[in-house]
Homo-oligomer: A and B are copies of this chain.
Amino acid sequence: MYGLIGKMRAKPGKRDDLLAILLNGIDSMPGCLSYIVARDPADADVIWITEVWDNESSHKASLTLPQVRAAIAKAMPIIAGFDSSTPTEPVGGVGLPR
């Protein structure tokens, strides 16, 4: 499995708009096992995205899907930047398909 833990920063006041975009159109991504977006309670502009994919190729392929490309285009103007992006190798746990 391939994972990512990302810390994204929205432009001031735009976090909820960005969350809505991130949650739209993520249900039909082949190979996506988990994709959870969260607010950072300590920073009003920060979103955490934790992802698990069956492999890295599926993640890369997802970036070419029409609905994902549309979401990225819509999100770009309200993203201030990425504080961090950490690849991981998920081993297992609750919330993954059996």
> Chain A: residues with CB nearer than 8 A to chain B?
1, 3, 5, 19, 23, 26-27, 29, 32-42, 48, 50, 52, 86-96
Contact = CB atoms under 8 A, between A and B. Distances in A.
A50 to B, nearest CB: 5
B96 A48 contact: no
A46 to B, nearest CB: 9
Given A37-B90, A41-B89, 12 more contacts: A1-B38, A3-B38, A3-B48, A19-B91, A23-B91, A32-B94, A36-B52, A36-B90, A38-B91, A48-B86, A50-B50, A95-B95
8 contacts: A3-B38, A5-B48, A23-B92, A37-B90, A37-B93, A38-B88, A39-B89, A41-B88
